[in-house]
Amino acid sequence: MKHIFLNLKRFDVPRELGGVNSIADIREWGGYIVKNTQKQLMKYPGTDVKFTMFFPEMHLMGAMAARCEDSPVELGCQSVFWMDVQPGGNFGAFTTERPAAAMAAAGGRMGIIGHCEERNLLSGILKEANVTDTDAVNRILRHKVENAIARGMKVLYCIGETSEEQAMWQEVLGKQLEIGLKDVDCSKVVIAYEPIWSIGPGKTPAGKEYITKIARFVKEKTNGMDIVYGGGLKQDNAKMLASIQEIDGGLIALTRFQGEIGFYPEEYLEIIEQYMSAVTA
């Protein structure tokens, strides 16, 4: 099974307000992306590849409404709160947060949890609270994973090491897996590896040898769980990633890194075509 994920973080912010969205009106943005990709994605056998798009919560219902009959696109949300609604108990008093119950009700069938930006946010909050327990972030993320699964959702669980952690990557990634997935139904989870140290302008992207090393480590630690490359599946690395036997797909975000930077449906489809052609070659 191959997995192609699309993380549409921040792309709903109009360009004139400092974002990178120039493709659709903010009110129609989610539906626009689904409508302009789902029919083309039907060319790939549904049993061999899964396409999942993670939307900001305000666009999830619009994206859901745009799905056609037998759409190959599965929709998901960008994480959930670490607490959830409990019948007869807390009915959702989580102002500013999105419990798994709400995301499932809106049509989310999967959640991306543990993205490096989410980990960084949690670390900052704990640091402000003078919490020095370095395992706390992984425990909070585990609660999020548990809540999503309990609501019938699947999870893309992200792991990765920073430049400061790279020398001890085995310990860092090992804890993220062991603590974050402790007692979790891992049949509902796909792992995404983010080489945080190599992501961003001016940084050297992780190479095939390094990605292969990490993928083998994760497969060994998790008894063969599916793992995708979360450092950005794009046109210039699609064939390389497809050649790594241990990698089961990728996570797409930006499709254009120069000029009118942002996400464009036609370029998303081109990336998938390059990757799938290389996989089946």
Tell me the catalytic residues.
115, 194
Q: Which residues contact 135 (CB under 8 A, 6 or more apart)?
A: 175, 179
Q: Which residue type sits at 156?
A: L
DSSP-based three-state secondary structure for 137: helix
Residue 7 pairs in a beta bridge with: 54
Question: For residues 154 and 172, what is the distance between their CA atoms, to the nearest angstrom?
Answer: 24
- Residues ≥6 apart with Cβ < 8 Å to 154: 109, 110, 111, 148, 188, 189, 190
Report, in this order, helix, strand and coil percent for the chain, each rounded to 5.
40, 15, 45
